[in-house]
Amino acid sequence: MRFNKDLGDLNGMHQTLHKQGVLALLEGDYAQARRYYEQALAISQDLGDSNGVASALVNIADCAVGERNYREAGRYMRESLQITIQHKHVAHQTPYIFISIGELFLHTGRRARGIELLSLALRYPSLEHTYKERAQHLLTLYRASVDVIQQALTIEDFEAASIVLLDELQLPENTTLTRHTPYTDETLVEPLSERELEVLTLVVEEHSNREIADQLFLAVGTVKWYLTNIYSKLGVQNRTLAILRARQLNLLP
């Protein structure tokens, strides 16, 4: 009986901390919001609650984005995403994490990828209204084109997308992340990850998606996501143009 009471107290405390964190985040008090979420994270870890841990981690990441600590935000988002992949019962957190990662990408010059992730998150059937508004607001703010949104709407595999994002969030230490504002016409060259270069090399060798998947021990859906990322980073729409653009940039031997 005592154990159940203590468990109930901790759950109640966790919910209170989460609500306080949300309010502080909305008020722009990122330092205070972080303190609430860090306490919530500690409670979730004590309870062995992977769902609560994933939620708290991405909330702390949102605080880091607000503070413009983008590298730190990426680490928290990556850790949260790993939990959703490892624990299937936490998979419902994935679209919420995508929204946070999408916002991070928008802030750091990866506009096309950010828009794709936000658009994909909006496909989740039971996405809470508050998060829908957040995603739609960001898409409007960054003038998301119908073409880019429609491209994202053809992708359905959240798990494959998550696996690819783990690579994208694993940035080299010498990568500099700076804030980018909406409405910018700046064209940024975002480096391809090692895995994306492997996929691109096999594309040049005229392998099919299935053959690439078999050679790299990946699911076909994951290969498609890598190709989407490659096209987005190179600013192209198909394999032929990707090869031409990669050669122009001396990415291929």
Same domain, 45 and 126: yes
Same domain, 175 and 195: no
Same domain, 71 and 144: yes
pLDDT tens for residues 144-153?
666 556 655 5
Q: State the pTM of this model.
A: 0.74
Examine the fold and report which residue of 181, 210, 238 is the final residue of a domain before the chain moves on: 181
| Residue 65: pLDDT band with limits 50, 70, 90 | very high
Helix H, strand E, coil C: the string for 165-196 is HHHHCCCCCCCCCCCCCCCCCCCCCCCCCHHH
| Cα Dmax for the chain | 69
C-alpha 197/C-alpha 193 separation (Å) is: 6
Examine the fold and report which residue of 159, 181, 203 is the final residue of a domain before the chain moves on: 181
pLDDT of 186 over the 50 cut: no
pLDDT at position 174: 59
pLDDT tens for residues 86-96?
998 999 999 99
- Residue 212 belongs to what domain range? 189-253
pLDDT at position 96: 95
CATH number for the domain that contains residue 207: 1.10.10.10
Tally of structural domains, the chain: 2
Please report, for the chain, how many H helices and E strands are present, in that order.
Answer: 13, 0
C-alpha 16/C-alpha 193 separation (Å) is: 40
CATH number for the domain that contains residue 139: 1.25.40.10
| Residue 139: pLDDT band with limits 50, 70, 90 | confident
pLDDT tens for residues 34-47?
999 999 999 999 88
Same domain, 116 and 228: no
Pick 116 or 246 by higher pLDDT: 116
Specify the long-range contacts of residues 147-152, CB closer than 8 Å, at least 24 apart: 148/112, 148/115, 148/116, 148/119, 149/115, 149/119, 151/116, 151/228, 152/115, 152/116, 152/117, 152/119, 152/120
Amino acid at 59: N
Mean confidence (pLDDT) of the chain? 83
